Each structure stands twice: as structure tokens, then as C-alpha cells.
A = this chain, B = another copy of it.
Amino acid sequence: MLKLSKKTEYALMAVKFIAKKTDGNSVTAKEISDGYNIPYDLLSKVLQQLTKKKVIKSFQGIKGGYSLSKDPNSVTLIDIIRAVEPNYQITECIKDGSTEKDCTHFNCCMIRDPLAKVQKEIDKLFRSLTIHQIL
């Protein structure tokens, strides 16, 4: 519990790898996969998700690959986590419009609001850490 999934770790490793390549060329999924012993298929999906969320940009075709699409100072940990983990909140019920269908304890729960505050603090922390700072 409270663990980051492998997808998040792979995303961070990939972003760091791409960020370190400064010669202007893009990086292929295979290069990253080989370099870090990350399963190729899994990594591919992570890279695709990062692309969708514009953290990186992709180039298709035989000379394709990935490169950063933003300044490393303007991408934060929360951007990466949200890209690969659509529901990263600490409780099931925190998303807007959640009802008793999301949790059997919804109606009797007295810790929902307090935990929502904790979530806000975690968000704040993750939003304050840029990939330039942490990688």
C-alpha cells in the first residue's frame, strides 16, 4: 500500500533516460527497454500514455522514437503519475461525484473529509516536485 506501481517507476526511468539524451535524436522504446531491463510491451504502453498526456512526444515510422515535449522544469511528478495512473488517489471515494457505489462505508464514513485533506497535501507535494529537481 501507498506503493507506486511499476508503471510509474518505468515512466520515471524513461523520462530520465530521454532527458539525458541531449544530442537531439529521439530515443526508441527498445533502447530504454534494453538499457533498464524493462519488459518492452509494458514500457511501450507507458510511453504511449506519457505521449497522450503530452509529457513526451512521439515520432512514428522506422526512424521514430520519443523525445521530451516540455522543459524538464515545467513537468512535475504529478503529471507523470496522472499520465500512467488515472486513479492515483489514496481512497476510492475521493474523486468528485463519488457515491455509496464507490465504497460500502460511504454513508457511515467519518474519515472521508479528513483524508481528502491529506490527499490535497500529497497533491501539493507532487505538484511541487519537477522532474528536473528529482531526476
Chain B residue nearest to A36 in the complex (CB): B108
Of the four ranges (under 10, 10 to 19, 20 to 34, 35 or more), the interface on chain A belongs to 35 or more
Contact with B along A73-92 (1 / 0, CB 8 A): 00001000100010011111
Q: A16-B110, A36-B105, A91-B9 are in contact. Are A2 and B85 (CB under 8 A)?
A: yes
From A21-29, A46-54, A56-64, A111-119, the one touching the partner chain is A111-119
Q: Can you list 16 A-B contacts with CB-CB less than 8 angstroms, sorted by A residue number?
A: A1-B5, A1-B8, A3-B90, A3-B91, A9-B111, A12-B111, A12-B115, A13-B109, A13-B110, A16-B110, A36-B108, A36-B109, A37-B108, A111-B135, A114-B135, A121-B125
